[in-house]
Amino acid sequence: MPLSKKIKYINIVGLSSILVYGLLLFINFDNLPDKVPVHINFKGQIDDYGSKYSLIMFLVLNIIIFAGILLVIKNSHIANYPVKITEENKSVLYYRMQFFLSLLSVLTSLVFSFFVFKSFDMVTEYFYFMIITIILPLTIILIFVRK
């Protein structure tokens, strides 16, 4: 089953998010302190620190997760579905799974990118990043792009 335009565009948004925060990380890596936040609790408090090299590990992990999700999106039949797949429901279920996984990959990129922005003490800029790189394009895609 070929990917719809909407699914392709959403994945481009996820990939562009990874590229933007990856570039931010590599361009400014020398300016990072040796210890950076690596875990933030639900209250927004930093509760664990690690080496600045852990941010590179986060970036690599994000790329691996993105690639894995993309693999499942392109091979929708390998995903686990809560209902039996039939010829009648196959295209709808595959599309819904692709859509869900595409949004999940964007959300995953947002979480990982937050650590990079937080490490540079750029939390305010992170919200601009979210709006310009992710929320605005996603909104346009979800509203205006047909299946």
Look at the chain and report how many structural domains it folds into. Answer: 1
147 within domain boundaries: no
Q: Is 133 inside a domain boundary?
A: yes
In degrees, to the nearest 5, what angle opens at C-alpha 24 toward C-alphas 19 and 30?
A: 135
Tell me how far apart the alpha carbons of residues 109 and 121 are, in angstroms, rounded to a whole number.
18
pLDDT-based confidence at 144, cuts 50/70/90?
Answer: confident
Question: What pLDDT band is residue 137 in, cutting at 50, 70 and 90?
Answer: confident
Residues of the domain holding 102: 5-141
**Gap between the Cα atoms of 143 and 147, Å rounded:** 11
Q: Give the model's confidence band at 145: pLDDT under 50 very low, under 70 low, under 90 confident, else very high.
A: confident
Going 22 to 28 to 34 to 39, the CA torsion angle's sign is negative
Residue 146 lies in a domain: no
pLDDT digits (tens, 9 = 90+) for 44-79: 788 889 999 999 999 999 999 999 999 999 999 999
65-124 residue pLDDT tens: 999 999 999 999 999 999 999 999 999 999 999 999 999 999 999 889 988 888 888 888
Q: What are phi and psi of 28, to 5 degrees?
A: -110, 15
